[in-house]
Structure 1
């Protein structure tokens, strides 16, 4: 049975059946995040994620992300931006391709748990990055809030926590 965008909580065309397990992502999410790493000072940020799906014939979600210094939002000082595509494969895996405003590109692959509403991704490639070598991220939807925790490894550090945020649908 085909899930419509309206059933996923969004207006628009029908959602490709392969995307049904992650259709809860569709829409715009905004909230607060925290960043830390051994080589930098800790920081806070406001973040907005947008997941959209406009072609019911293709199992692809378009993705954009923007952050601003906290407190704030679009009126505050911009920090970071990236965009890309999420795709669910017939074997149940997830592939994500991201281009950052800094010129860094990422290819991540992973799994999703439709019942638990958890997505785990791990970098296959981090390109055009002088220091970042590996990224791992877990998204989780609990009680209507989308949260994530991102870990990162660089040329001088092992994989460890870097970013985490809790977002609400807007």
Structure 2
């Protein structure tokens, strides 16, 4: 080892310390993958594969969120969105999401930590020429993360748009 320095030993990984506001939703943290289906009165029915990722740095009351979908057969990308979820100790939650289509959402809602249910309602839907309202329901059922999205446009009332079931990796 003439003149060579030994590489420093890697520091042991420290476990993530959850911010107290994030702890009730810690079951979301990680990567989820599965399949979904969608449609709308103005859109033909379709199926897709999906990956959701929820992350937390430990120092702020925020959960990072990313989502991407692709066509089942070809793997061709379909949709992507990202944002931040801010749970509050009183069971309310604020969410901001930017979609790859240019649409931006500000949502507010509630979560039930015991039943593992999150309900979100759009407060603002920005940069959308047609979309006027979005509702999202997430629930953990037998270990699967399931969600449903409803949407209203300028010409339709609130109606089912998407639903999926995802397993944690």
TM superposition score normalised by structure 1: 0.89
After superposition, the C-alpha distances for 1:38-89 in whole angstroms (9 at most, x for unaligned) are 01100000010000001x22110000000001146xxx10000010000012
| Count of residues paired in the alignment | 156
C-alpha distance in structure 1 between counterparts of 2:42 and 2:115, whole Å: 34
| Alignment-derived partner of residue 68 in structure 1 | 70
In the alignment, is the contact (CA less than 8 A) between 2:49 and 2:70 conserved in 1?
Answer: yes
TM superposition score normalised by structure 2: 0.89
State the structure with more CA Rg. Answer: 2
> Gapped runs of 5+ residues in structure 2?
1-13
Choose from 52, 67, 76 the match for 2:55: 52
| Alignment-derived partner of residue 166 in structure 1 | 165
In the alignment, is the contact (CA less than 8 A) between 1:110 and 1:119 conserved in 2?
Answer: yes
2:26 matches 1:27: no
> Gapped runs of 5+ residues in structure 1?
1-10
| Alignment-derived partner of residue 78 in structure 1 | 77
Greater CA deviation, 159-168 or 91-100?
91-100
In the alignment, is the contact (CA less than 8 A) between 1:46 and 1:71 conserved in 2?
Answer: no
RMSD: 1.2
